[in-house]
Amino acid sequence: MTQSALDTIRHRITELDSHLLQLLAERRQLTQEVAETKIAHHIPVRDVKREEQLLVRLIKEGQQIGLDPHYVTQLFHVVIEDSVLNQQALLAARANPGAALPLNRVAFLGDKGSYSYLATQKYFSRRPGELLEIGCQSFAEIVQKVEHAEADYAVLPIENSTSGSINEVYDQLQHTELSIIGELIHPIRHSLLVATQTSLDKIKTLYAHPQVFTQCSHFLAELGNVEVKTIDSTSSAMLMVSEMQRDDVAAIGSEAGGGLYGLSAIKSNLANQKENHSRFIVVARAPVVVPLQVPAKTTLVISTVQQPGALVDALLVLRENKINMTKLESRPIHGNPWEEMFYIDVQGNVQDGPVQKALESLRGITRYIKVLGCYPSEEISPTKVAAANALTSSS
Ligand SMILES: O=C(O)C(=O)C[C@]1(C(=O)O)C=C[C@@H](O)C=C1
């Protein structure tokens, strides 16, 4: 193929891509109009039945024009997730008009390019107001910034699907009056980032955050003679490597973050597990109201009386009220050896009957209980339809 023939085709692809973007923006605009109707008529944001119908029809139409069901399904899961999250953000903003700020000052770990930075950008892109990022060196500093009103929000990683809970963040929650007002799930894709033209066999030193090393332990075990240096944040690792400009050093971080430092990826997908996600919480000085049309989560912290079965009794209260627990984490209480705080995430809204009833019962059987926050749930489980279902369906 001649260069000019290639250019012609690429030109058409570029045009089509721009057209796709315009259509997606138009679709997003329409879903915001749907959200307005849902606010006016108190209709839940999520309508799984509608999503099923939509996917079945699209899979069928896709097959007729040569697009495989897997591709169509993946594509529209992303589109619908975006739609649901934007609608939820709109409803939450309407329910808390006083909380809207022209400038959102947000404290997070690290600097430009860290996973927390990317998560911060993503979360606030769906919300009104400008964003001012305040990079910090520790979780304690992040929390203090909000407590001292030097920041309005903090974005904190709380758990990772490969390496588990982030204890330091739970320990910060034990001592603060701040409230959890949001969460977000962000994919963590680790790549090996370098500043110059080089290859994997030349790398002698590797910089990354300790959590990152844990998540990539299988890759590191295969590396052999490479010195591994831990550093306080992913962005510091990237900055270090970009300043050194050497062909024998590399950082582990996201490709998107590395790009901000002029780094490029020579190897990707380094995490032990392919599906590697982190859940971040967003905290603020005041709690928010979550509209009942939006799926909500509530995080509680309790300490139980010291007697056998006390935790089981507390969990039974949730079961009695048909409340689904999504997470249970225990942390030691500082100064009280062998005693523990339990952090419990449940699906439900504090304004709603079942959660209120459960809280009332829990108050009677626990030594200490506090609601750390109620916030819109961003764990959007994708609607599944079998391709066979789509093909046999007449709709
Ligand atoms: O049709 C709706 O009710 C919408 O909110 C739109 C939409 C979509 O993006 O297609 C999004 C969320 C619902 O779960 C179903 C469909």
Closest atom of ligand 1 to CA, residue 383: 14
Q: In the structure encoding, which two tokens stand for residue 115, read together?
A: 């996973």
Read out DSSP for 240-268? HHHHH--TTEEEEE-HHHHHTTT-EEEE-
Does ligand 1 come within 6 angstroms of the Cβ of 377? no
Beta strands 249-253 and 205-208, pairing class: parallel
Distance CA(357)–CA(321), nearest Å, equals: 7
Instruction: Quote the domain boundaries for residue 210.
Output: 191-267
Nearest CA to ligand 1 atom 10: 80
Rg of the chain on CA atoms, in Å: 24
Residues 174 and 106 in one domain: yes
CB-CB contact of 128 with 119 (8 Å): no
Domain count, the chain: 4
The CATH number that applies at residue 341 is 3.30.70.260
- Domain membership of residue 26 (yes or no) is yes
Does ligand 1 come within 6 angstroms of the Cβ of 334? no
- Domain membership of residue 63 (yes or no) is yes
Average pLDDT over residues 316-328: 97
The CATH number that applies at residue 78 is 1.20.59.10
Query: How many angstroms is it from 35 CA to the middle of ligand 1?
Result: 9
Does ligand 1 come within 6 angstroms of the Cβ of 83? yes
pTM: 0.90
Residues 210 and 171 in one domain: no
- pLDDT at residue 223, as a whole number: 85
pLDDT tens per residue across span 251-267: 999 999 999 999 999 99
Average pLDDT over residues 4-8: 93
Is residue 1's pLDDT more than 90? no
- Domain membership of residue 391 (yes or no) is no
Which contiguous run of DSSP H or E holds residue 392? helix 387-392
Domain end, chosen from 95, 130, 153, is at 95
Average pLDDT over residues 114-130: 94
- Domain membership of residue 387 (yes or no) is no
The CATH number that applies at residue 183 is 3.40.190.10
388 — pLDDT class (breaks 50, 70, 90) = low
pLDDT tens per residue across span 17-67: 999 999 999 999 999 999 999 999 999 999 999 999 999 999 999 999 999
- pLDDT at residue 316, as a whole number: 97
Residues 109 and 123 in one domain: yes
- Domain membership of residue 385 (yes or no) is no
Average pLDDT over residues 96-105: 93
Distance CA(282)–CA(242), nearest Å, equals: 30
- Domain membership of residue 82 (yes or no) is yes
Q: How many angstroms separate the Cα of 289 from the Cα of each of 74, 178, 246, 331? A: 32, 15, 51, 28
Is residue 395's pLDDT more than 60? no
Residues 325 and 344 in one domain: yes
336 — pLDDT class (breaks 50, 70, 90) = confident
Residues 91 and 103 in one domain: no
- Domain membership of residue 238 (yes or no) is yes
Closest atom of ligand 1 to CA, residue 47: 14
Distance CA(221)–CA(341), nearest Å, equals: 35
Is residue 387's pLDDT more than 70? no
- pLDDT at residue 394, as a whole number: 43
Residues 77 and 112 in one domain: no
Residues 79 and 129 in one domain: no
Q: How many angstroms separate the Cα of 197 from the Cα of each of 38, 202, 264, 270? A: 53, 10, 9, 20
Does ligand 1 come within 6 angstroms of the Cβ of 294? no
Mean pLDDT of the chain, nearest integer: 93
Does ligand 1 come within 6 angstroms of the Cβ of 84? yes
- Domain membership of residue 55 (yes or no) is yes
Distance CA(270)–CA(105), nearest Å, equals: 33
pLDDT tens per residue across span 210-252: 989 888 999 999 888 899 999 988 899 999 999 999 999 999 9
Domain end, chosen from 95, 115, 148, is at 95
Residues 132 and 180 in one domain: yes
Average pLDDT over residues 308-313: 90
Distance CA(320)–CA(39), nearest Å, equals: 31
Whether the complex's predicted ipTM is more than 0.90 is answered with: yes
Closest atom of ligand 1 to CA, residue 31: 6
Query: How many angstroms is it from 47 CA to the middle of ligand 1?
Result: 6
Query: How many angstroms is it from 79 CA to the middle of ligand 1?
Result: 10
